[in-house]
Amino acid sequence: MILQRLATSIRKQDWFTVFIETLIVVLGVFLGLQLGNWNEARAERAQETELLRALHQEIETSIRLTDQKVDAIQQVVAAGKRSLDFLESDESCGDGCWIVLVDFFHASQWQSIEVDRSTYDEMRRQGFPRSRDIVDVVEGYLAQNATLSITNELPAYRSRVRQLIPFDAQEFYWDNCYILNDGAETYILDCAKGISDKAAERAVGRIADTPDIPLLLTEWVGLHTATPADLIVQNQTAEIALEVIEAELERRQ
């Protein structure tokens, strides 16, 4: 309609009206574009806010799981040290062969310490977070986790020692000496005997007589000795990341 009036004004050479109506058209187009940009920016901001909340939850969950893994790894290292002490003593396990065998099995436990970063990777793919502070602190946290990636490799000791433990002992172990609850692994030190004393003694003897067991176990325990402390530092960095994200979410309210 306005274009029709504009054409009429041009034919009449009513230049003032032409100017006003042209201004109205240009202003309308400009306001329309600005409104579209504003709506797009508002939608992006809302999307980033939801992703920041999801990132906060992702890091919170990783902190909880890492705390659980610190406890589990400490148990593995302790069992490995006891097993090495037994091997170095060159003594018979006597009536305590089952507990010695359980320690050899505990020491073979492994779990990935890699943290979930799927939400953060999705945010980066979409150009978020736009806060440099959040990017820097989350990248630092993930870099710390990446430096520990060597422990994500399955240890040679794990495979070797389990070849020497009878199947019925392993079956009993999983039912009675190991607990998995909400992602947390617990290794029970004083679980009931799963096989006869004689069978346990034979199994411990096979392990002790296998030349590469002490070397493989030493390598595995040595690799993990510092891991719990490293994971604690990693979680401290993760807590800082949570604080930075929380500050940004508070600012957006």
Answer whether residue 136 is part of any domain: yes
Q: How far apart are CA 46 and CA 124, in angstroms?
A: 16
> Is 116 within the bounds of a domain?
yes
Quick check: is 10 in a domain? no
d(CA 73, CA 50): 34
> What domain count does the chain have?
1
Range of the domain at 114: 47-252
Which residues are paired to 66 by β-bridges?
none
Residue 20 placed within a domain: no
Q: What is the model's pLDDT at position 32?
A: 57
- In sequence order, the β-bridge partners of residue 181 are 184
In a domain, 18, yes or no: no
The DSSP H or E segment spanning 54 is: helix 15-89
- One-letter amino acid at 16 equals F
| 53, part of any domain | yes
Burial class (CB within 10 angstroms; exposed 0-12, middle 13-18, buried 19+) of 228: middle
Give the per-residue pLDDT at 36: 56
The reply to whether 217 falls in a domain is yes
The Cα 6–Cα 31 span in angstroms is 20
Name the DSSP letter for residue 153: S
Q: What's the rounded Cα separation, in Å, for the pair 201 and 236?
A: 44
Cis peptide before 129 (omega within 30 of 0): yes
Q: What is the per-residue pLDDT for 179? A: 94
Report how far residue 129's alpha carbon sits from residue 115's, in angstroms, rounded to the nearest whole number.
19
Each of the 253 residues of the chain gets a pLDDT tens digit; together they read: 555 654 565 555 555 555 565 566 566 565 555 655 555 556 788 899 999 999 999 999 999 999 999 999 999 999 999 999 999 998 999 999 999 999 999 999 998 899 999 999 999 999 999 999 999 999 999 999 998 876 778 899 999 999 999 999 999 999 999 999 887 889 998 899 999 999 999 999 999 999 999 999 999 999 999 999 999 999 999 999 999 999 999 998 8
Q: What is the pLDDT of residue 6?
A: 47
CA separation for the pair 86, 82 (Å, rounded): 6
Q: Could you tell me if 87 and 214 are in contact, meaning their C-beta atoms sit under 8 angstroms apart? A: yes
Question: What are the residues facing 186 on neighbouring strands?
Answer: 179
Residue at 227 is within a domain: yes
